[in-house]
Structure formats: structure tokens, C-alpha cells
Structure 1
Amino acid sequence: MEKGNIIDHFKSGIKEPTNSKIGVEHEKFLFYKKNNKRINYSTIKEIFKILYEFGWKPSYEGENVIALNKDNKSITLEPGNQIELAGAQLTNIHEVCSEANNYLFELKQVVEKLDLKIVSAGFDPISKLSEIPNNPKKRYEVMTKDMPKGGSLSLDMMYRTSGTQLNLDYTSENDFTKKFKLANSLVPLSIALFANSSIVEKKDSKYLSYRSKVWQETSRGGLPEIFLENIDFEKYADFVMDYPILFIKKDDKYLSGKNYKFSDFMNGNIQEINKSLPSIDDLGLHLSTIFTENRLKQYIELRSMDTCGWSCICAGPAFFTGLLYGNLDEALEFISKWKKKDLLNAYKNAPMKGLDTNLMGKDMIYWISNLLKIAEKGLEKRDFIGKSGTNETKYLEHLNKIINNKETVASHVINKFSKFQNLEDLYDK
């Protein structure tokens, strides 16, 4: 494999403008109702059995069921048995919302049958790290051992965080460059707006997005300065080649990447695997272990949102779709004066300060309220009409409310929980 192969891999992700899709992934915590403890792997197997009734089919690693698949969607497991829906590639936010609601309907049947509760937050508000059961997924063994070496909160990231991820397409290399720059420039605003992880171990963490604080102190994470520049496929390929390998999969085993970079693998310099060379699957695996706030596979993954409740699950995808698909050039023009240094400072401060975070002399409310108008125009331009006869702008209502009230979900949770100290307030209703 040469650098050109990596660049070609990214090029083959280019889509026609009429074929640009939206994919949403969202993670949830599940707890036992009786004792407020996180569920273990044997309960996951029971959950999966019930979901078979809704047409989901199991996917195995050895003898262990580790995922379910149905209609181009999958349900997968995170290291601490957080359950994740990786949605299908859809055309508009109406479909995204419908998919999420169908999944909620199925999950509700499960939690009622098994006496469980769902927590939609970016960080586990109850459990200590030592209390969380793991699962037998092989790659997580290597990660649990190796990740803490590069970031002090890496295990918290694995076992105690949940996020919402949005996957969007690009229609040319130049379109990728523009979308990737915008997506990365918006990370501090995204952290502030979608903050929903203020409670940690049943106490106020003093952060609005403790999840984001954790991801900033995670091995292989963060917001690289180069992502705030005009990065093309070649520059991203250079970044990928210079990035340490987390693990290599050989004969169904995951081997530690030790201190090797992907370029070492490409040059046949890894003795432990007899100097063998990477395949496209090896490249895909490597791309999936780059834990930056946003990343490139054959589409762009936006990864800086805390998990939110079911009522706002469509809001984040609508906001970014309006900007990146509906009104990209106006959004880029609006942020064109932002400086890298100011963005990186805002990125550091946003997990604690939220909407009060300063960027270029103004708070987040100023910037986000303007971007919401730009996103709204973008969604109007897209003009996808749903069954109720409305376009996609209705999904921004939740975010407009946050900005008008100057209160994020995280602030609301802190105020309510601090007053009553009732664990029930942390669970989905």
C-alpha cells in the first residue's frame, strides 16, 4: 500500500450531490431498575433475544453475539455495554427522526420486559469506573490495556461516555475540504450547545460536558490544529500514515500496535507480523481508531455531540445538515475571521463554560444564534417535506429554545438534580 492508495480510498467516497446521505449513530446507557447498576453482558444477550422478534439478526465474534443487523442498520456494543444504534444512510431528517422513533419503540419493549432503565446522557451520571461490567469483544481487550498509556481518562471514554455521531458525504475533494474545515471549526460550539453530561458519580462535576473533557484527555483524541486548516485528501493521508496504530487484526486476533505508525506497517517494518503489508481492511480498521472530534473514512464523521434525550435526537443532525448540506458557503463565510488560536482556546473552555465560552470576544449564544439562522435557511433550501407537511426546520426548535432560554440540557439537569438529589431525574421518562 502506498499513499496514493489511501488517497484513492477517500476519493472513492465521493458522492453525487443528489446522492448525499445522512447517517446517525447514537449511544445509550442501560441500568437495572432494582439497583441503579449498569447492565452486564448476559443481560445484553437477553436484550438481543427480544430484539430478534423485531427482525434483527445476530452477528458473532467466535461464539459471542456482539451486534445485530437489520435493513442497513446495526446495533452494536461499546466497551461498557453502552448500546448503539448505527443508523442507515438516509435522505433527510424526517427519515432520521422516524428511524430513531422506531428504535425507541423497540427499546421500550425491551426495558419494560427486563426491568431496565435508559439514561440518555453524555457521561454515566451514577457509576464509578470500577463498577462497570465489560463484554467479550476482542478489540476492547487491547484498547483497555493500551489506551491509558496515551491519555489519563481513556478508560472513562471507553466505559463511561455516550455520544451522538453524524455521518455526512462529500461531493468532491474541494467539498470535503470545505465541510471538514467547517465541522472542525464548529466543535467548540457543538460542545457548548449539546452539553448533556454534568453529573458524575451522582455529583455536580462542575462541567457542563464532562464527556468532552474526557475526550480531550483521551489517547488518540482531540482537535488537531491541522483540522482547522484547508486539509485535502493528501494531507489527511499524511496524518493517517503518521498516526500510531492501536491494533492490527491477524487471524481473528487483535495484536497491540505498540509504538508503530501506520507508515511502518506500509513499509513492512513490523517484525511481530512478519513484515506483512496492510490491506484495505487494515486501513479501514486504522481509520476507525482515530478518535479525534471529527474524522474521515469514506464520509465525514462528526463526533462532538453528547448523547441527548429522544426529544432532541433529530436536532443535532438537522443543525449540521442545514449548514454542511444546505448552506455551506454562507456558513464558511460567517466563520471566516475565526482564528485557530481562539478556536483551540474555546475548545478547551467549552466543556466547563458551555454557552458562556468566549470566542473572538463574543459568547457562544451570539455565534450559535446566527448559525441557527444560517442552518434554517439551508434546511428551507433543501425543502424536504415530511408527512406532516412541514420541512426539516422544525427539528431546530429544541436548539432555538436552548439559545432563547440560555440554558443547555446540562444546566437544566444540574438545577433539577441539585434541588431534589433524586436519581429518577437522571433516567429517561
Structure 2
Amino acid sequence: MINNKDQIIKYFEDGIKDEGNLKVGVEHEKFIFNKKDNKRVDYSSLTKMFYHLYEFGWKPIKENDNVIGLSKEDKNITLEPGNQIELSGAKLSNIHEACSESHEYLFELKQVLEKLNFRIISAGFDPISKLSEIPNNPKQRYEVMTKDMPEGGALSLDMMYRTCGTQLNIDYTSEEDFSKKFRLANYLVPINIALFANSSIIEKKNSNYFSYRSHVWQQTSRGGLPKFFLEKVNFENYAEFVMSMPLLFLQSDGKYISGKKYIFKDFMDGKINEIKNLQPTEAELSTHLGTIFTENRLKKYIELRSMDACGWDCLCSGPAFNTGLLYGNLDEALDVVKTWDVNEVLEAYNNAPKKGLSTPLMGKDLLYWSSVILNISKKGLTNRNILNKKGINEEKFIDHLFRIIENKKTNADHMLYKFSKDENLANLYDQ
């Protein structure tokens, strides 16, 4: 049982990896629509899709006889609250492998979607549907979340039902290495928001944001960018943060119940009558860590969570960009951000969803800083020098980002331009 802070610290220490065994894990979400009526698929339709994916070796994950996801080898497809689906990829050695994994998954998915007359939209926010139009599903925890989350953030339900993101998971070699990587990742949040913005349309209209998804996450319960994340974070003060975080839900007799009256420390101290004063297991600690919705977070690895979902042109570029920095050129990147004022970074974070690459930071704009950081990432990928079978290194995956910098146009700009020409919904779907 987890009953003291040292056990949480030990949990994070157990995540320490050897320098030669650092992995990358990529997760990305997709909206699935019915082609005939441009409406999000319901749970019944999604289970048909899951059934067809069995042909590719995927196996069902069930909760009370309901299929709530699929697994194959070391990866999963998970079911999100509004029937978005997420690939949680395996822990792989490099971006070549991660990108190949995504390519194989999307190939399988598209075969099935064509059979069912479904289509994908790869965007940070649903560009078509109203919140009231989104179908739900029987995954139990979402019922509690739907009820309680809005109390802590006005746009929490939009987050649950109408957003999709891309996530990179990276390892650390020591507590000090974690502190450095986590600090850089949090300083880079405004850049990741602006550079990977891809949610400029909502409800078939201009959202007046480049990343409406990021705006929503800023107004989400348990989310945001805590100021102390931009300072010296170690395992102990992150553990204290975890202990003080309210519980999102609890499990009692196989059912999910609200945990909003309690913080995790109450759980550790055995003070929750509704669950007979039991204390959390390590698995329940892991679940709690996954309900902290900050821009970046710690489990037994670091999760970077500030990028909008996007199509194939940029799906691999976000993970490559951050991998080049965090694994290939960490110290040079830290040298750039060490002079940045914390309050200016937080202001840029608040402004980036709406102002995008024109967001001011330290007397420049995020376009300037994105260019600086991108070149540092490129050197990092060169330093890694991990080649594919054709002798090409991971640098190729950030070509898309250099085009963004050169043209001063993100995916959000392109989406808005294409759709605004004739407001044809077909322009919103993956081609």
C-alpha cells in the first residue's frame, strides 16, 4: 500500500533508465466521423470498427463485457469520452520506429474505415460538432468525470468530448536528468502550442484561435501549467503536488464513484469511509497520476502533452522535434531558456492559443524562438545519428517544421484557408 511520500518518490525512482536504454513512446488521438452524415460515430459503430480490427491481430479490452479498447503486442487503442480513439504506442528506440508504428496503425485503421464508410479528422478540436451532439460510451469512469469535471474548469467537457492531441513519452536517467528535461519541456509549452496549432475551426466556423484545443485545456479542471513546473522540480516536490491533488474518482465494489471531496493524501492516510478506509495500491497511484491533466506530467516517464493532433504531414514531426531537444541537445536548449522570465513564459502560454507564432516572449515572438529551438533540435537529431534502412537520420521528420517557419503558416492557417474558400466539410477530413 502507498501510505507515505517516500513510496511515491520510490515509484518515480523506479522509472530511471540507463543512458543506452532511453525510449520514445508516441500517443495520438483521432476523431471518427460517419461519412454519410458528417456526425461523430456512436459507441455501437465504434465496436464494429473494433471488430474489423481483430483481423489485424488486435485483441479486445473489456470492462463489464463492453469493449473499451484494443491491444496488440506492446500497444493499445483506447476509447476516449466522445469516442475519439487513441493509439498508445509501444516504447521504441527512435522516431523511425515510432513513425513506422503509426504508419502501420493508420494503414490498418483506414482499411476498416473504408469498409464502414467512416472517415478521420486529425485536428486538435472537433471542427464540426456541437458538444450536445457528441455520443458517449459505457466506459464507467467517464460518467463520474462528466459530472464532476466542470466544477473545476468551465471547458472541461469540451476537453473530454471535443479535443484530440499528440503526446510524446520520454525517459530520464536520474532525478537530476528528470529535473532538467521537465524544466525544458515546460518552458517549451508555448512553442509546442504555437508550432503544432491545428484547431482553428469549431462548429464549422472560425474559432479565432490557432489552437482552440489549447485554450480549452487551459480552462480544464486539473490542467494548466503550474508556475512551480518552471522552477526546480524534483521527485519530492512533484510527489507533494501529487499528494495534494484532489481525487477524480474512486473504485468501490467494482464501481466508480466521485472522489472530489478528498485529496490523494486522504487516500494514503486511510481516511475515506466510502471505500472502507482502504489505502491506495501502486496501481491506484498510477491511475491518479494519469488524471492530472497538466501540460506535462510525470509517471515513470515524462509525458509531453501540448501538441494538437494533426495529419500525416506533422504526426512524426512533434515527437522528433522534442526528441532532438530532450535526448539529443538538452544542455544547449536549456542555455536558451535559462534567461527567460517565468512570468513572461506563463503569459506567452496564456496567449499562444490565440496569437500563435506571433505571441510575444522576451522581446521576440514565438516564430523567432521556434526557429532558434528548431535548429537546436536539428543538431540534436544529428547528434543522435540514428539512421533508417536508407541511411537517413531522424532529421527528415522535422522538414515539415522548417516549412512552417519559412512560410509563417501552421496547420491551423492551412485548415482555415482551405475551409474558408467554400466551407466544404470534405476539406476538414484526412485525405
Q: Which residue of 2 aligns with 1:374?
A: 376
Corresponding residue to 1:246 among 248, 263, 269 = 248
Aligned partners of 2:324, 2:252: CA distance in 1, in Å? Answer: 42
Deviation at 1:20, TM superposition (A): 0.5
Letter in 1 for 2:140: K
Q: Which residue of 2 aligns with 1:383?
A: 385
The structure 2 residue matched to 1:333, chosen from 332, 335, 345, is 335
Pairs aligned (count):
429
Alignment of 1:24-423 (within 5 A): 24-423=26-425
The answer to whether the 8 Å contact 2:252/2:274 transfers is no
In structure 1, the residue corresponding to 2:40 is in which secondary structure? coil
Q: Where has structure 1 moved over 3 Å in runs of 4 or more?
A: none
Displacement of 1:388 after TM fit? 2.0
Say if 1:249 and 1:282, in contact at 8 Å, map to a contact too: no
Query: In structure 1, how many angstroms separate the alpha carbons of the residues matched to 2:69 and 2:297?
Result: 23
Distance in 2 of aligned mates of 1:164 and 1:262 = 28
Amino acid at match of 2:130: K
Q: Is the 8 A contact 1:266 1:277 kept in 2?
A: yes
Q: Give the distance between the partners of 1:250 and 1:14, measured in 2 at CA.
A: 33
Structure 2 residue matching 1:326: 3-state secondary structure: coil
Return the letter of the residue paired with 1:240: V
Q: Secondary structure of 2:261's match?
A: coil
2:39 is paired with a residue of what secondary structure? Answer: coil
* Cα displacement (A) at 1:178: 0.2
Which one-letter code corresponds to 1:21 in the other structure? K
| Structure 1 residue 349, shift from structure 2 partner | 0.3
Deviations 1:127-165 (A, max 9, x none): 000001001000101000100111010000000000001
Distance of 1:62 and 1:236 partners within structure 2:
34
CA distance in 1, matches of 2:261, 2:227: 22
Q: Which letter maps to 1:392?
A: E
Matched residues in 1 for 2:233 and 2:312: separation? Answer: 35
Partner of 1:181, secondary structure, is helix
Q: Distance in 2 between matches of 1:185 and 1:252?
A: 40
Deviation, structure 1 residue 73: 0.5
| Partner Cα distance (1:284, 1:253) in 2 | 18
Aligned residue type for 1:341: N
The offset of 1:389, in angstroms, is 1.3
One-letter amino acid of the counterpart of residue 248, structure 2: L
Task: Judge conservation of contact 2:122–2:310 (CA < 8 Å) in 1.
Answer: yes
* SS across alignment from 2:32: strand
Report the Cα distance in structure 2 between the residues aligned to 1:12 and 1:252, rounded to whole angstroms.
Answer: 29
> Shift of the alpha carbon at 1:252?
2.1
Q: In structure 1, what residue type is equivalent to 2:423?
A: Q
Q: 1:10 aligns with which of 5, 9, 12?
A: 12
How many angstroms apart in 2 are the aligned matches of 1:183 and 1:250?
Answer: 36
User: After alignment, is 255-264 or 180-189 more displaced?
Assistant: 255-264
Residue 104 of structure 1 and its aligned partner are, at CA, apart by 1.0
1:250 Cα offset (Å): 2.9
Query: What CA distance in whole angstroms lies between the structure 2 residues aligned with 1:250 and 1:88?
Result: 31
The CA distance in 1 between the partners of 2:213 and 2:40, in whole Å, is 17
Deviation at 1:375, TM superposition (A): 0.5
- Equivalent AA in structure 2 for residue 377 of structure 1: K
Task: Say which SS state the counterpart of residue 124 (structure 2) adopts.
Answer: coil
- Provide TM-score, normalisation by structure 2: 0.99
Equivalent position amino acid for 1:235 in 2: N
Range with bigger deviation, 248-257 or 260-269: 248-257
Shift of 1:204: 0.0
Q: 2:23 maps to which residue?
A: 21
Is the contact made by 1:195 and 1:410 (CA closer than 8 Å) also made in structure 2? yes
Following superposition, the deviation at residue 424 of structure 1 comes to 0.6
TM-align CA RMSD: 0.7
CA distance in 2, matches of 1:277, 1:49: 38
Q: Distance in 2 between matches of 1:266 and 1:101?
A: 42
Which 5+ residue runs of structure 2 have no aligned equivalent? none
Unaligned runs of 5+ in 1: none
Q: Is the 8 A contact 1:57 1:69 kept in 2?
A: yes
> 1:338 aligns to what SS in structure 2?
coil
SS across alignment from 2:371 = helix
3-state DSSP of counterpart to 1:53 = helix
Q: Distance in 2 between matches of 1:46 and 1:307?
A: 24
AA matched with 1:42: S
**Residue type of the partner of 1:46?**
K
Cα offset for 1:266?
Answer: 1.1
Counterparts of 1:344 and 1:241, CA distance in 2: 24
How far the C-alpha of 1:251 sits from its partner, in A, is 3.0
Report if aligned partners of 1:244, 1:259 keep a CA contact under 8 Å in 2.
Answer: yes
**Paired residue secondary structure (1:102):** helix
User: Equivalents in 2 of 1:258, 1:290: separation in Å?
Assistant: 13
Q: 1:375 is aligned with what amino acid?
A: S
Which letter maps to 1:323?
A: L
Q: Secondary structure at the match of 1:213?
A: helix
Contact 2:251 2:275 in 1 (8 A): no
